[in-house]
Amino acid sequence: YGFINTCLKSLVVEKYGEETWERLRLQAGVQDSFLTFEVYKDEITMQLIDKACKILGVPADTVLREFGEYFFEFCKRSGYDHMLRTLGGNLYEFIENLDALHSYLSLSYQASSITEQEMNAPSFRVEKNEDGSMHLHYYSDRRGLCHIVPGIIGAAALDFFNIEISMEIVNQTEEEEERTGKKEHIVFLVTQNPVFSYKERNEFCSSPQYLADSEKQMENQLNKEDLEKAKNTIRDRGSSVCPVKKSHWKTIRGIITLGKGKLLRGFDPVYPKSLWIDTKTFCNGLPFHMVFDKELRVKQAGVSIQKIVPGLQTMGICLDHYFSIVHPEVPFTISSIQKFINSQFVFQTRREMMPESWKQRPMLELRGQMIWMESLQCMLYLCSPLLRTLHELEERQMHIADIAPHDVTRDLILLNQQRLAEMELSNQLERKKEELRILSKHLEEEKKKTEALLYAMLPQHVANQLKEGKRVEAGEFKECTILFSDVVTFTNICAQCEPIQIVLMLNSMYLRFDRLTTVHDVYKVETIGDAYMVVGGVPVPVPTHAERVANFALGMIIAAKGVQNPVSGNPIQIRVGIHTGPVLAGVVGEKMPRYCLFGDTVNIASRMESHGVPSKIHLSSSAYQCLKYKNFEMTERGEIEVKGKGKMHTYFLIRNKTATENEIMGRP
């Protein structure tokens, strides 16, 4: 079920991070999230565990044990805490009742599953040993997951019963004889050691029992002549540490007695000399019960079970002719039943033994416990019909009245009906939540694309202000460096080519230039036809604006050599002009807002480009002054007549003395 995979995801994300989970699930080829009550293939879980071992570099048994410990905590956080705590008063009882818990959960999980697939839970059987250890038998259809068990049981033992346990696998060869239907049978030797807190240890050490044990131990070690002296010493120590004072409770307990003078501290049941119930009342009061002997011959059956399985009215028939054992999956023999007598047994009626008119109905399942009656050498099966919903009751043409009033199966069917409705609602909410998560993820991706497009058109801080509905004030920049470039003989090229060829040529060139803006961190203002305009120091003022634009210009000259002239087939030539000075920058328009630069600096930079030389970078005197001491090689052009500006002293930028071509182009 999705609950297992969700737990595994939670473990990886919590301990190793979201990135590790993303890597893990991509390698395993599984989805990002799982629905709690949805059935998924076992291969998904196996793939996740296998890839986790490889990615984390941890052995499988370590990963599974860690998963087992985390799974226990995950179950508690998921609302199963009280259910787990009340399974048993000690570890033995806790393990013994795990199958009953799985049986209860299967009522809801199976009926809520889309595939109607039976919950295929592992099974546990525990045996006590004389030395206080236990043998835990683990049965599962899933091979290779047995190392989860020490993690789960160890965590439960420490949390619920304050004991540390060690579990080691014991090789067993009797699995096929003992149990059928399960692929894996592992036997663990479980040894327990109590864990005391500091306070508990002090209380234990000062207790009369501990002192008595200490006294006994010391007696064995001391010489005979010192024995009396040692006894007196220990007795004195016991009196000082834990003075013997009869408490109020002890006084009362000494007075009050139960029955024939027996104290309240113990309980001995009292049985009547003869059974005060007649056969008819017993069979009516327990309508679902059967008694059978070692040969599986039926000796007695309740009235309701006789009604459903008419063959049981013939006493002495063999039980295995009419029923098969569904759980635990053991051979239908008295010895197998006795071995698993602490387990819940589920019987299913055999279709071939039912009356012809009943064979189309779903077969009835009975669930209950086995009790061995030594004096009669017979087995009593106390059971109830295993029904999950009212629909299942109707399918078998049964009624609530067929179930004894004292049988909680009545309440279970009605409560489960309501719980299934709640679980279906929970499933729908989970699906909607997952749909919303996916939509939210797609929305976030689209938002990032939109923002990337917006930031390509406007500076980020300006775009953010516009998104918030704020008015963007124009800003004055005291010093920045502006670059213009154009394609030499662009008008002639346009006259001799198809429009698509011009578009392809410009696109090829601008893609190269756009990449260079990222390399040198300059702002692309706009492109008009073949003209390309960038600025350094705007919208974010930086002291190195001239160097950035100069390096960008050198990269443009190199990049242009890779763009082909569609007329001649030779590389295109560009002119580049650069000028440094003050500008005013602001957003113009509302429908297609643009971040524009205003001022004489823009005009002079444009003149540097138009009065430039092919494949050269033309500098104004102000740009030259900014680059003069910055490791750039420049040559003087002299005075030239500039349209609208008169005579101007200009220069050519040749190269960067310290940067290689790869550094200029941003290549590795």
571-600: average pLDDT: 89
> Reduced to 3 states, what is the DSSP secondary structure of residue 126?
strand
- Helices 42-56 and 2-16: crossing angle in degrees, nearest 10, is 10
Just give the CATH number of 471-665.
Answer: 3.30.70.1230
As a whole number of angstroms, the distance between CA 322 and CA 328 comes to 17
Q: Kind and range of the H or E element at 164?
A: strand 163-170
How deeply is 169 buried, as exposed, middle or buried, from its count of CB atoms within 10 A (0-12, 13-18, 19+)? middle
CA dist., res. 184 & res. 172, Å (int): 11
Residue 318: Cβ within 10 Å count: 13
pLDDT above 60 (res 602): yes
Which of 91-105, 219-233, 414-428 holds the top average pLDDT? Answer: 91-105
Q: How confident is the model over 5-45, as pLDDT tens digits?
A: 888 888 888 888 888 888 888 888 888 777 766 777 878 88
Q: Is the pLDDT of residue 101 over 70?
A: yes
| 1 pLDDT above the threshold of 60 | yes
Task: Check pLDDT > 70 for residue 212.
Answer: no
Confidence at 176, pLDDT banded by 50, 70, 90: very low
pLDDT digits (tens, 9 = 90+) for 436-491: 888 998 999 998 888 888 887 778 877 888 788 777 777 889 999 999 999 999 99
Counting every residue written for the chain, the total comes to 668
**Entry pTM:** 0.51
Q: Give the residue, 579 or 237, on which the prediction is more confident.
A: 579
Q: What angle do CA 653, 655, 658 make, to 5 degrees?
A: 135
* Greater pLDDT, 370 or 53: 370
Dihedral angle at the C-alpha atoms of 41, 47, 53, 55, nearest 10 degrees?
-130
In the chain, where the domains are located: 59-194, 279-406, 471-665
As a whole number of angstroms, the distance between CA 530 and CA 503 comes to 10
Cα–Cα distance, 319 to 324 (Å, whole number) = 9
Residue 511 is predicted with a pLDDT of 94
DSSP β-ladder status, 523-528 and 531-536: antiparallel
Q: What is the mean pLDDT of residues 127-140?
A: 87
636 pLDDT above the threshold of 80: yes
| Confidence band for 344, pLDDT divided at 50, 70 and 90 | confident
Burial of 163 (0-12, 13-18, 19+ CB in 10 A): middle
Instruction: Look up the CATH superfamily of 279-406.
Output: Haem NO binding associated domain (3.30.450.260)
Average pLDDT score over the chain = 82
- pLDDT tops 90 at residue 292: yes
CATH of 59-194, one of 3.40.605.10, 1.10.10.10, 3.20.170.30, 3.90.1520.10: 3.90.1520.10
Q: Which of 203, 90, 98, 101 is nearest to 148 (CA)?
A: 98
387 pLDDT band, cuts 50/70/90, is confident
Q: Given the structure tokens 């406007």, which residue do they identify?
A: 458
pLDDT at 201 (0 to 100): 47
The predicted model gives 92-121 an average pLDDT of 68
Q: Which of 585, 581, 573, 583 is nearest to 620 (CA)?
A: 581
- Tokens 């016991």 map to which residue? 238
Average pLDDT of the residues in 268-297: 91
CA distance 143 to 565: 68
Question: Angle between the 60-75 and 148-161 helix axes, to the nearest 10 degrees?
Answer: 40
Location of structure tokens 């009340």: 86
